[in-house]
Chain A
Amino acid sequence: MAESKESLKEVLIAGLWSSNPVFGLLLGTCPTLAVSSSMMDGFGMGVAATFVLIMSNVFISILRKIIPDKMRIPCFIVVIASFVTIVDLCMKAYTPALSKSLGLFIPLIVVNCIILGRAEGYAYKKGILPSLVDGFSMGIGFTLALMAMAFFRESLGNGTLFNVPIFGSKYVPMLGMILPPGAFLTMGGLMALTVFINKKMARK
């Protein structure tokens, strides 16, 4: 495959910036809004989703010749749900605190459109290596997006980063930033910034 050779680096950059799952493709906005109120949650969610993305992309790419076209969505879901359950069980066993604070959002990775989107749009058509790179870069892109959101929300809304106070005791937290409205505001702001930078770069 000639195209896969030059595109590996592009694939990597695509997930991180140009088609970042959250700010570029507008996928997975639901978990992004919900789990970005603290850096730790954002990081944990990102890592869990990255693992599921890589594994499901690789497996679906390996099995893409076997999976019947008509039945592909149920097959994807079975593969994705299995990995999500594995992550959920492992987190419950080894990182109980994180699993508690993420709660329902880990099982909900199953219906995260980033993962199904990459399975359907990428891994089902491409080879194993590009799929692995794609899963990795999309996952890291998702993690970075979550943490960028959480950076603003946790610092402004709670006066902390990774639960460490950063503004001193006099700072009055803007509670709204932790609550859902803050999530929408931050997301809108960051998205505008992304578009702005992209336009600037295109002009050059």
Chain B
Amino acid sequence: MKEYRDIIILVLFAVIAGGALSGVYGMTREQIAATEKLERTNALKAVLPTLSAAATEVIIDKDGLKIPAVLDSANGTFSGAVLELETKKGYAGTIKFMVGVDKDRHVTGLYILAQNETPGLGTKAKSQTWWGQFLGKGQDNFKFKVKKDGGDADAITAATITSRAVTNQVDLGLNALAAHLEKR
């Protein structure tokens, strides 16, 4: 009989805890969604300040790789885009980031959304002191590869893998965007 009592108590614990958690989840759910949305909106603004409200969300398909993007093409002329890129070639897992480009497909900003790189090394990719070198650069005047691989991009000291992952992915994104714009 004692065993039953123990089990009932444990079940009660789980039920009460579950109930409390679902309450907290309900209270914070909207706030979490709002925070995430706000971060996305801020990130879009940060990488492409000229982004207009008329911009449309599209999925660019590049050789089977789907890249979500926001295309700004008011009046039918392309005036800028934000690409949401992700790469698994970082030093520690996936790096998700946004890149903004202007009408000439020159980079206007970069924003890291999620990463697990080494603190103090790979995380420097978040800083403009590193990605600032891409500003105003496009594939016509910059080779998006780290210098070790024969490109123009400076790698972060002691974080070449991170730098390479981000730089190569920017290159891929720009290629995909160029191909997408040509197709239209």
Contact = CB atoms under 8 A, between A and B. Distances in A.
Do these two chains really belong together in a complex?
A: yes
Interface of A: 37-38, 41, 66-68, 70-71, 74-75, 78-79, 81-82, 85-86, 89-90, 92-94, 96, 100, 103, 157-158, 173, 175, 178-179
Contacts of B35: 92-94, 96
Interface stretch (B50-58, B118-126, B171-179): B118-126
B13 A79 contact: yes
Contact of A89 (B5, B6, B25, B158): B25
Interface stretch (B14-22, B60-68, B72-80, B103-111): B14-22
Chain B interface size range: 20 to 34
Given A85-B24, A92-B35, A93-B35, A103 B6 contact: no
A78 B13 contact: yes
B32 A82 contact: no
B121 A178 contact: yes
Contacts of B121: 175, 178-179
A67 B120 contact: no
Residue among B17, B35, B114, B158 with the most chain A CB within 10 A? B17
A68 B39 contact: no
A66 B16 CA distance: 14
A100 B24 contact: no
A78 B11 CA distance: 10
A75 B119 contact: no
Contacts of A173: 120
A71 B119 contact: no
Given A78-B13, A81-B17, A173-B120, 10 more contacts: A71-B10, A75-B9, A78-B14, A79-B17, A86-B20, A89-B24, A93-B28, A175-B120, A178-B119, A179-B118
Contacts of A70: 6
Nearest to B116: A103
Interface of B: 5-7, 9-10, 13-14, 17, 20-21, 24-25, 28, 31-32, 35-36, 39, 114, 116, 118-121, 158
Given A71-B10, A79-B13, A94-B31, A38 B119 contact: yes
A87 B9 CA distance: 25
28 contacts: A38-B119, A38-B120, A41-B119, A68-B6, A68-B9, A74-B10, A75-B13, A78-B10, A78-B13, A78-B14, A79-B13, A82-B20, A85-B21, A86-B24, A89-B24, A90-B28, A92-B28, A92-B35, A96-B35, A103-B116, A157-B120, A173-B120, A175-B120, A175-B158, A178-B119, A178-B120, A178-B121, A179-B121
A89 B22 CA distance: 11
Among B7, B14, B32, B39, the one with the most A-chain Cβ atoms within 10 Å of its Cβ is B32
A132 to B, nearest CB: 19
Q: A-B pairs with the 4 shortest C-beta distances?
A: A178-B120, A93-B31, A82-B17, A68-B6
Given A85-B21, A89-B24, A158 B9 contact: no
Contacts of A94: 31, 35
A134 B85 CA distance: 47
Contacts of B158: 175
Contacts of B14: 78
